[in-house]
Structure 1
Amino acid sequence: MRVIIVGAGEVGRSIASNLEQSHDVVVIDRNPDVVEGLTYSLDVLALQGDGTELGTLRAADVAEASLVIACTDSDESNVVVCGAVKTVSDAFTIARVRRRTLLETWEGSQGAFGVDFMVCMDLLTAQAIFRISGLPATQDVDTFVGGLVRMAEFEIGPDSPVVDTTVQEADRYDSLTFAGVFRGEEMIVATGDTLLKAGDRVVVIGSPGSVTDFADDIVTPSAEETDEIVIVGASEIGFQAAREFEEHGYRPRLIEQDHDRAREVAEALPNTLVMESDATDTEFLAREHVDEADVVIAALDGDEKNLLVSLLAHRLGVDRTIAVIENLEYTELFETVGVDVAINPREETAEEIVRFTRAEQTEKVAMLEHDRAEVIEFEVGPDSVLAGEPIAAAATDLPDDVVIGAISRSGDLMTPRGETVIEPGDHVVVFVDAAVLEDVLEAI
């Protein structure tokens, strides 16, 4: 399939990297240095030009394209790109936008702007913040098979009860599979003998109840259910996060220094307590008992500000901090100096678009650790190497870096074991090293 990507920022580059092996990818960007860099770093055709111009699109052979993804840093440009594409091609168009108002306009009018699918970066980020906030020690969370299966990545703290135990010793759950362990730069496919160490990030797949039980067991005994939420910054992401918590029955607190913005969001968020103040004012934070919060979410406009707020929250005694970062290169730095979870909006957006491009092969995709591994859901067809075989036998036809995490059959969850026979029509959730993903997709 020919895929044209307009915009080679973090989102565009990530999508191109993910699709280059399986598709004929063309990337368009205005910056000649970016285009030259792409030419030598990725197996794509990189073109310099303006994607809103028909001449540039024709140079990319848009008439032969099946998919065009507009992901520049300008919402308006992305919408124009999609509209221009529709005048000369039948390609399916995807537009990345930041403003939810554009998404709502598009959703309210079929086919608006010539956009077939719209991805709202701020909303996706807010939804990721909510998912991660719901479980203690979680680095990433997602659901599969309509909510029947949950995947979660947890960081093992130094005081966790499972430190220095094997996976076999830690596995006391009816419907849970230990899939993988990230240890520094190393990724380990989990086996019964895998030793869990402090600082490891463990990926588990299973029923929501079992994943929650595991979360409760691995954190320190003093940890409690997330209830008190403080959001710092009424940026669009902060506002959307507060609204997401409201919609799930929470009553978060939101701190915003700008008077007009604080008043605006207070009127729009009836179940959120909006406080007008500087979030670095320690006297204010102490007076408002911010130290008692279960989670502090730093959603200010600026990575440095979010780092400062997160470190201050930890100093006050807050159990957990989540920070929004715009610069993906800061992720490791933030987490090294003490931020529990760093969320990059562009990474969330790239993941959502890649999910959509894989719709014919998989039901759902979740990317882990900056796409070092993926968790995918697919329906088993009659020609799959898994069909009609016990897992132990079928696994010999798959790469080593694959773990079958869960199976759904007619709406019932099955915990995979070596003797389990997978049948056509089953929905299977697997953990796979991104390096062998294409081989796995061909086999299944």
Structure 2
Amino acid sequence: MRIIIAGAGEVGSNIAANLAESHEIIVIDTDPEKVDELTYSNDVLSIEGDGTSSVTLREAGIGEADMLIASTDDDETNLVICGTAKTLGDSFTIARVRNANFIETWDRSDGAFGADFMVSTNILTANDIVRVVGLPAALDVDPFAGGLVQMAEFEVSPKSDMAGQTVEEADRFEALTFAALVRNGDVVIPDGETIIEAGNKVIIIGRPDSIQEFSGAVASAETSADAKEIVIIGGSDIGYHTAKLLEERGLSPRLIEQSTDRAQQLAEELQKTVVMEHDATDVDFLVGEHIDRAAAVIATTDSDEKNLLVSLLAKSIGVRRAIAIVEDGEYTDLFEAVGVDVAINPREATAEEIVRLTQEGQIENLSLIEGRQAEVLEIEIDEGSALTGRPIRESMIDFPSEVVIGAITRRRDFIIPRGETIIEPGDHVVLFLATDVLPDVMGLV
């Protein structure tokens, strides 16, 4: 496809890097340094200019484009870009927005603002937070096959019984597959004799109940407790949507917001959330309100620095898990290195969601792993697939060794993939694979 990306910030650059190998990419940005950087670092055409300008869009070839992605950091600019693009061609338009009001308007009126699809960064991030909170010790969680399958990533604590076991010894769960280990930043496809070491990240794919059981086993005693006491620090839009989603799941979180006006607004809008007006960097207040007993503290202020500070304060007084929003993707690893359990970058989450939307053909869903070293794909199998009609142990001979079948669903039923399992046309298969073998795999499935 020919795809135009307007906005070469963290989101746009991430999308361009992920799509450059398989699509013709044109990136537009007003910053000449970003344009030059993208030109040299990726196989893309970069244009210095304003994406809201019809002249710039014509220069980028909007009339022949299959898709336009408006990914600047300004909601209104992205909507104007989509609207302008629609006057110049018939490309499929995607707008990245933060303000949920735009999403509500768009939902009520098909094609509003000239956008064929909208990705709400704040709602998307809140969903990521809630999925991670729901699994003790999980670093990442993604649903597949309409929720029948989950992919989850965990770090194995030195206190976990799993540390030092082989994969065969640890594989005592009914309906999940050990897809990969991550060691020192490298993705490793394990076999039964591979030893799971403390500090390894384990990526598993399986039925949600088995993933939940695994979560309890891999978590240390400090993180395996009931995750019902949740405290949100920061009444940002992400904080609000996180509280709202937790309420919908039957929880009653507490939310700390320093601004009097914002705290009052949140208290009126969140019916099951206890809103407290205070400065969350006040340790005496945190201890006095028994925040130290919380299963998780989620830092969702509008400041990366404050999110880091309150997360570390929470850990210092005994909070089991600290989850923090970090807007600058360069700081994500730093947050986790100094003690934050999970750092979530809204821009990275948004880029991954938009990459999902660009997929064609059989790919129903995907998740990017460790800077796209690997991917988890959901694929609907047809009669011509190399996986069809033979036991898995036979069909997988044709595939690269860096491919693992994680799960199968058939007419809304979960099927545990085993060597003798025969995949049928129409089945949905969730695959784990190294990204560099993706073209070979897509040629077979």
Q: Report if the CA contact (8 A) 1:168-1:193 is conserved.
A: yes
**What is the alpha-carbon distance in structure 1 between the residues aligned to residue 354 and residue 426 of structure 2?**
26
Which residue of 2 is the match for residue 128 of structure 1?
128
Alignment of 1:18-33 (within 5 A): 18-33=18-33
Alignment of 1:132-143 (within 5 A): 132-143=132-143
Tell me the alpha carbon deviations over residues 375-422 of structure 1, each in whole angstroms, 9 at most, x when there is no partner: 110100111121122222222222221110001122221111222221
Which residue of 1 is the match for residue 278 of structure 2?
277
Q: Which moved more, 1:430-439 or 1:374-383?
A: 430-439
Q: Report if the CA contact (8 A) 2:185-2:370 is conserved.
A: no
Which residue of 1 is the match for residue 405 of structure 2?
404
Which residue of 2 is the match for residue 101 of structure 1?
101
Q: 1:317: Cα distance to partner?
A: 0.4
Which residue of 2 is the match for residue 377 of structure 1?
378
Matched, 1:197 2:197: yes
Q: Report if the CA contact (8 A) 2:149-2:407 is conserved.
A: yes
Q: 1:190: Cα distance to partner?
A: 2.1
Q: 1:234: Cα distance to partner?
A: 0.3
Alignment of 1:141-160 (within 5 A): 141-160=141-160
Matched, 1:55 2:58: no
TM-score normalised according to structure 1 size: 0.98
Q: 1:116: Cα distance to partner?
A: 0.3
Alignment of 1:210-229 (within 5 A): 210-221=210-221, 223-229=224-230
Aligned to 2:363, the other structure's residue is in SS state: coil
- Aligned residue pairs total 444
Letter in 2 for 1:210: S
Which residue of 2 is the match for residue 352 of structure 1?
353
Q: 1:221: Cα distance to partner?
A: 3.9
Q: Report if the CA contact (8 A) 1:161-1:219 is conserved.
A: no
Q: 1:258: Cα distance to partner?
A: 0.7
Q: 1:148: Cα distance to partner?
A: 1.1
Q: 1:183: Cα distance to partner?
A: 1.0
Which residue of 2 is the match for residue 208 of structure 1?
208
Matched, 1:251 2:252: yes
TM-score normalised according to structure 2 size: 0.98
Aligned to 2:271, the other structure's residue is in SS state: coil
**What is the alpha-carbon distance in structure 2 between the residues aligned to residue 441 and residue 41 of structure 1?**
26
**What is the alpha-carbon distance in structure 2 between the residues aligned to residue 278 and residue 439 of structure 1?**
54
**What is the alpha-carbon distance in structure 2 between the residues aligned to residue 358 and residue 201 of structure 1?**
27
**What is the alpha-carbon distance in structure 1 between the residues aligned to residue 381 and residue 87 of structure 2?**
38
Q: Which moved more, 1:353-362 or 1:41-50?
A: 353-362
**What is the alpha-carbon distance in structure 2 between the residues aligned to residue 276 and residue 409 of structure 1?**
50
Letter in 2 for 1:60: A
Q: Report if the CA contact (8 A) 1:22-1:438 is conserved.
A: no
**What is the alpha-carbon distance in structure 1 between the residues aligned to residue 411 and residue 112 of structure 2?**
37
Letter in 1 for 2:140: D
Q: Report if the CA contact (8 A) 1:234-1:299 is conserved.
A: yes
Which residue of 1 is the match for residue 168 of structure 2?
168
Which residue of 1 is the match for residue 266 of structure 2?
265
Tell me the alpha carbon deviations over residues 263-305 of structure 1, each in whole angstroms, 9 at most, x when there is no partner: 1111111111000001011111111000010000011111111
Which residue of 2 is the match for residue 44 of structure 1?
44
Letter in 1 for 2:306: K
Which residue of 2 is the match for residue 337 of structure 1?
338
**What is the alpha-carbon distance in structure 2 between the residues aligned to residue 329 and residue 428 of structure 1?**
34
**What is the alpha-carbon distance in structure 2 between the residues aligned to residue 83 and residue 318 of structure 1?**
47
Tell me the alpha carbon deviations over residues 134-185 of structure 1, each in whole angstroms, 9 at most, x when there is no partner: 0111001111111111111111111001000010000011211000011112
Q: Which moved more, 1:310-319 or 1:366-375?
A: 366-375
Q: Which moved more, 1:383-392 or 1:258-267?
A: 383-392
Alignment of 1:274-313 (within 5 A): 274-313=275-314
> Which segments of 5 or more consecutive residues in structure 2 lack a partner in the other structure?
none
**What is the alpha-carbon distance in structure 1 between the residues aligned to residue 332 and residue 264 of structure 2?**
32
Matched, 1:81 2:81: yes
Which residue of 2 is the match for residue 440 of structure 1?
441
**What is the alpha-carbon distance in structure 2 between the residues aligned to residue 268 and residue 324 of structure 1?**
22
Tell me the alpha carbon deviations over residues 345-390 of structure 1, each in whole angstroms, 9 at most, x when there is no partner: 0011011111111153311111222322211101001111211222
Q: 1:52: Cα distance to partner?
A: 0.6
Q: Report if the CA contact (8 A) 2:362-2:381 is conserved.
A: no
Which residue of 2 is the match for residue 242 of structure 1?
243
Letter in 1 for 2:420: E
Letter in 2 for 1:88: L
Letter in 1 for 2:220: T
Which residue of 1 is the match for residue 5 of structure 2?
5
**What is the alpha-carbon distance in structure 2 between the residues aligned to residue 77 and residue 208 of structure 1?**
40
**What is the alpha-carbon distance in structure 2 between the residues aligned to residue 386 and residue 172 of structure 1?**
26
Aligned to 1:424, the other structure's residue is in SS state: coil
Letter in 1 for 2:93: T
Letter in 1 for 2:246: F
Q: Report if the CA contact (8 A) 1:402-1:430 is conserved.
A: yes
Letter in 2 for 1:320: R
Q: Report if the CA contact (8 A) 2:154-2:201 is conserved.
A: yes
**What is the alpha-carbon distance in structure 2 between the residues aligned to residue 129 and residue 350 of structure 1?**
16
The Cα RMSD (Å) is 1.1
Q: 1:111: Cα distance to partner?
A: 1.3
Letter in 1 for 2:365: K
Aligned to 2:376, the other structure's residue is in SS state: strand
